[in-house]
Amino acid sequence: MCTVGGPVDIEFNERVKGKNYRCKDCGERFKGLGKRPMCPSCQSENVEEI
C-alpha cells in the first residue's frame, strides 16, 4: 500500500458500500448506489444487479 500522506481515505469506505451492477447495454460492471444506478460508461439505466 502506498500512502501519500493525506487525511483519512474516505474513498475506500465508500467503495465498500453499494451493490454490483452490470450494464445490459455495454456490459460495464460497476458499483451502484441508490435505487436507480446509472452506467458510468454509457449513462444507461438499463442495468441489472449481479
Single residue of 22, 28, 31, 38 touching Zn ion by CB under 5 A: 28
What whole-number distance in Å separates Cα of residue 42 and Cα of residue 30? 12
Which of residues 28 and 31 has its CB atom nearest to Zn ion in the complex? 28
Give the one residue of 21, 23, 32, 37 binding Zn ion; rule: CB under 5 A.
23
Q: Which lies closer to Zn ion via its Cβ, residue 15 or residue 24?
A: 24
List the one residue out of 6, 8, 1, 35 whose CA is nearest residue 21. Answer: 35
Q: Give 43's Cβ-side CA count (13 Å radius).
A: 0
Residue 22 binding Zn ion, by CB under 5 A: no
